[in-house]
Amino acid sequence: MAGYIIETAKGKWEVVVGLEIHCQIISKSKIFSGASTEFGDDPNTNVSFVDAGFPGMLPVLNEECVHQAVKTGLGLNAKINKYSEFSRKNYFYADMPTDYQITQFRYPIVGEGEIDIDLSDGATKKIGIERMHIEQDAGKSIHDLSPTKSYIDLNRAGVGLMEIVTKPDFRSPEEAGAFLRKLRSILRYLGTCDGNMDEGSMRCDVNVSVRPYGSDELRTRCEMKNVNSVKFVMQAIENEAKRHVEVYENGGTIAQETRQFDPTTGHTKVMRKKEFAHDYRYFPEPDLPPLVLDDDYINSVKAEMIELPDAKKHRFVETLGLTPYDAMVLCENKETADFFEKAASGHDAKKVANWMMGDFFAMLNKKRLDIAQSPVSAENLGALVELISKDVISGKIAKDVFEIMSETGKNPEQIVEEKGLKQVTDTKAIEAIIETVIASNADNVAAYKSGKTNLAGWFVGQVIKMSQGKANPAIVNKLVRERLDK
């Protein structure tokens, strides 16, 4: 869907999308208080006087949140601003006791950056980052516990957020989905956000507009708030873009407004008319001084940076011989990439990749396990591939061995020894089986000699079957043809 165009009887339209992604910062305490950030605790148990908005309570900036933000900015190839300021964004929500949010407005901690995204046709595209600032989260309103009341849980109130604002560089739902997956991968590699959209620790606001194809104008946009999955983001873009086209082609105008995407209907509905910056009455936060970073601090964070997905993917292609697609799949998750590297160490990396992306992933899916829970260790998967490479076992028998490994956790050498599964490479033993098969199938031998040479494959299968799968297929194939051609 790269190059996504909406075409109607009246013309062609191009979608223009920008994203605002709110990412909860991984830290043990909240951004301006010492309250815990543990997810899933009983409601209103992780709340300090600061979070609850008690009079006279003063915020204290959590240094770990600053550290995580700088690390994330570096991971986005973005400029780290040495000077940033906190502001108050004033608005009323029932789950925000102070009636204002401490955020960053004019002077964010991170400036412009960019991320490369990978598209389904093999192309890559650069997506610009406008800025990233840090702020506090609001609490959570719960509306489904009572037919007449709403409940408030302030455990989330004051949790540190990184808000990443992109440039309006997306031209298709696919590009937005690819960006969110790449961003989530980077955040997880860095350990700055867990990216769990279903738990609300990564939430996405989607800004959508359309314009006539070939135009460079930016028309009125609408924002879908708090879309909580990659799939829903892509659906929201597609459906909202079609709504805009329908409105324009019927002679209407698009109002700038905030909307809500309903995944059950696939449509959006109005929440409120879009606010502008002046509606929030921003002013400098009086209880927090400007945040000033020096080169030594920024360099110390740079020194902690690890190899990120794109660099790792490039290395896997250039030095390990993987295809770009294989490398992309294996590098999306750091734990998977680490497992692969350990499994491939000293073995045929491409064969290990094939096993991981085939039988290994299928086994994890079937057992509903993540890679950290795998009963097959990386070392044992590599050892299995080595047994195939050295012709100790055939690929077919390897699948049986792998099945036993996934049930017992045993190493493949032990299983092969215990089950007597070593591949037969002794040509005399194989020739004896061939003679038995040929003696029992004179009609097929005659048919082969009369020109039906494709029967050689049938003979090979019979020999391997009689050997209980232990005969080396390459040797069998060679010897069968030699014997039939006599």
Q: Class assignment of domain 427-484?
A: mainly alpha
Please give the mean pLDDT across all residues of the chain: 92
Give the integer Cα–Cα distance in Å for 66 and 132: 12
Lowest mean pLDDT among 36-45, 97-106, 448-457: 448-457
Give the integer Cα–Cα distance in Å for 51 and 62: 14
pLDDT at 423 over 80: no
Q: According to the model, what pLDDT value does residue 464 have?
A: 83
3-state secondary structure (DSSP) of residue 477: helix
The residue with tokens 């090979």 is 460
The residues spanned by each domain of the chain are 5-301, 309-419, 427-484
471 CB neighbour count, 10 Å cutoff: 24
Residue in 257, 284, 292, 290 with CA at minimum distance from that of residue 273: 257
Q: According to the model, what pLDDT value does residue 3 have?
A: 63
Give the integer Cα–Cα distance in Å for 481 and 456: 7
What are the structure tokens assigned to 375, written together?
Answer: 């009963």
Residue in 424, 427, 390, 419 with CA at minimum distance from that of residue 402: 419
Residue in 58, 42, 143 with CA at minimum distance from that of residue 98: 58
Q: According to the model, what pLDDT value does residue 2 have?
A: 46
pLDDT at 277 over 70: no
pLDDT at 425 over 80: no
Q: pLDDT exceeding 90 applies to what percent of the chain? A: 72
Q: pLDDT exceeding 70 applies to what percent of the chain? A: 98
The pLDDT tens digits of the residues spanning 257-266 come to 999 998 888 8
Query: Between 441 and 134, where is the model more confident?
Result: 134
Give the integer Cα–Cα distance in Å for 347 and 354: 13
Residue in 55, 28, 43 with CA at minimum distance from that of residue 95: 43
Give the integer Cα–Cα distance in Å for 84 and 106: 8
pLDDT at 410 over 70: yes
pLDDT at 426 over 80: no
Q: According to the model, what pLDDT value does residue 275 have?
A: 63
Give the residue-averaged pLDDT of 329-340.
Answer: 96
The pLDDT tens digits of the residues spanning 161-194 come to 999 999 999 999 999 999 999 999 999 999 999 9
What are the structure tokens assigned to 323, written together?
Answer: 């295809």
Give Cα separations from 147 to 93, 140, 260, 393 (angstroms). Answer: 20, 17, 21, 64
Q: According to the model, what pLDDT value does residue 321 have?
A: 93
Give the residue-averaged pLDDT of 460-477.
Answer: 81
The residue with tokens 């992933």 is 361
Q: According to the model, what pLDDT value does residue 1 have?
A: 40
pLDDT at 298 over 60: yes
88-115 b/e (C-beta count within 10 Å ≥ 16 → b): bbeeeeebbbbebbbbbbebbbbbebeb
Give the residue-averaged pLDDT of 58-62.
Answer: 97
**Confidence (pTM):** 0.85
Residue 443 — pLDDT band, cuts 50, 70, 90? confident
Residue 251: which residues within 8 A CB-CB, separation 6 or more? Answer: none
Give the H/E segment covering residue 100: strand 100-103
